[in-house]
Amino acid sequence: MPIGVQSVIAVGLGALVGTLAPSAGEQMKILGEVFLNLVQVVVLPLVFPLIVLGIARMESVKKVGRIAGKAILYFEIVTTVILLIAVGLAKLTGIGQGAPVHGADAKDLDGMSQGIDFHELVLHAVPKNIFAAFSEGNLLGAIVFALLVGVAMAAIGEKSEPFASVLESVAAVMFKVVGYVIRIAPLGVLGFISYDVAHYGFGNLRSLLGFIAVVYAGLAIVVGVLFPLIAALYRIRYVELMKSIAGLAGIAFVTRSSESVLAPLMGKLEAFGLSRSTTSFVVPLGYSFNTDGSVLYQAAALVFLANAYGADTSLPALLLMVGVLVILSKGMAGVASASIVVLIAAGNSVGLPAEGIALLLGVDFIVDMARTGVNVIGNSLAAAVVDSSEKRREAKRGGPDAYGSPAEADAPSFEKEPAQ
């Protein structure tokens, strides 16, 4: 039975258990936590060698900088456009007016940071102990260290080959381990859905139905309109790309964890035709700086709170919200409960009480599933865009022979049939 079908069955079973036996449903969370732990234990041992090898085998350090620059520029432009879409949609629908925010329980926010320390973010990206960074699951710190190691290997040339062989073996073993872990994904899905339904219930659904609808509509516009336009601009076969990663996006959706599919996602994208060097660098970087679904949720939530509290929602005020989120959303890397923390920080910045956010926590698991799935799709497209841009550049430099024939000169390799 395909793993996607197993996961759908697990969702149905989890909803039944959570509804009919809430106490048992809450206990089943351990299944989801075990699955996520298995995923997280293998993420850095796989991502690190892939990034190092990808960078070491680029022609020059200049190419590394060029790919990083393209990726970061893409992240900034796309997330800003998504923020504008979310704010416009939320303003148009008027969500939040009359919402019972004054009855929210602020205790739900206890223990969460009230802001983001960019000083700490920089130190998080440059850890003083790489082994500590690995033990903490510090993906951003691992990326920076892998970048340095990859550049050093490229600089010393053939002397690095023995180390490169070791990294190749490590990556191959970790890919195999990931294959084993993904097989038990339906059990993780069963555990998380059982817990979510039992713990959160659906009590707040009626009062927050408009907010949920706007978030899902916004995400549908991003996936169904914005992303296809970007793909068409770069001549990427978007439908084929979506088919290739659909199963993984579905697992991320129900587990509410994009990390759960990071390793197999890079394998799928490589099989689709993207170069390993681009994919292994852009996708992990995007996990830290390209959270498309999350920024849409945050923008919609800010407008919701502004309407609920009767705050200013004029055009300048909305643009201020967008500007604040553009900055704060790039500080999400390494922050626990990142979307909520950024939302609290952004609310404080524009003068909105944090207490209202507590009301949204009751339905957070519902919107979290969708925004996590969109994060996975967005990072896949980002890798495809950067790879397409690099292949076009190589085609122009190499002339008609760069792709074997004049007809293929401008076409990225992933426009052909995906590798089986």
Going by pLDDT thresholds of 50, 70 and 90, the confidence category of residue 413 is very low
Q: Flag whether 242 is in a domain.
A: yes
Residue 304 · residue 96 · CB < 8 Å: yes
Query: According to the model, what pLDDT value does residue 354 have?
Result: 66
Q: What tokens does 241 get?
A: 């790309």
Give the Cα separation of 205 and 363 in Å (integer): 7
Greater confidence (114 vs 127) lies with 127
Q: Flag whether 344 is in a domain.
A: yes
Q: How far does CA 36 lie from the centroid of its chain? A: 15
Q: State the total domains in the chain.
A: 1
Q: What tokens does 82 get?
A: 């998504």
pLDDT of 228 higher than 50: yes
Q: What tokens does 288 get?
A: 């830290």
Q: Flag whether 203 is in a domain.
A: yes
Query: According to the model, what pLDDT value does residue 162 have?
Result: 92
306-341 tens-digit pLDDT: 888 888 888 888 888 888 787 766 655 444 456 676
Burial of 408 (0-12, 13-18, 19+ CB in 10 A): middle
244-293 tens-digit pLDDT: 999 889 888 888 878 778 888 988 999 999 988 888 889 888 887 888 88
Going by pLDDT thresholds of 50, 70 and 90, the confidence category of residue 158 is confident
Q: Flag whether 272 is in a domain.
A: yes
Give the Cα separation of 348 and 98 in Å (integer): 21
Q: For 379-410, give the DSSP string.
A: HHHHHHHHHHHHHHHHHHHHGGGGGSSGGGTT
Number of other CB atoms surrounding residue 62 within 10 Å: 9
pTM of the predicted model as reported, rounded to 2 decimal places:
0.75
70-116 tens-digit pLDDT: 998 999 999 999 999 999 998 898 888 777 665 555 454 444 444 44
Which candidate, 37, 33, 17, places its Cα nearest to that of 25?
Answer: 17
Domain hosting residue 250, numbered range: 3-415
CATH number for the domain spanning 43: value is 1.10.3860.10
Q: How far does the chain reach from its first CA to its final CA, in angstroms? A: 19
Q: Flag whether 254 is in a domain.
A: yes
Q: Flag whether 236 is in a domain.
A: yes
Query: According to the model, what pLDDT value does residue 417 have?
Result: 37
Q: Flag whether 25 is in a domain.
A: yes
Give the Cα separation of 55 and 39 in Å (integer): 24
Mean pLDDT of 45-54: 84
Q: Flag whether 420 is in a domain.
A: no
142-153 tens-digit pLDDT: 888 888 898 888
Query: According to the model, what pLDDT value does residue 194 have?
Result: 87
Greater confidence (94 vs 395) lies with 94
Query: According to the model, what pLDDT value does residue 322 have?
Result: 84
Residue indicated by tokens 């698991």: 365
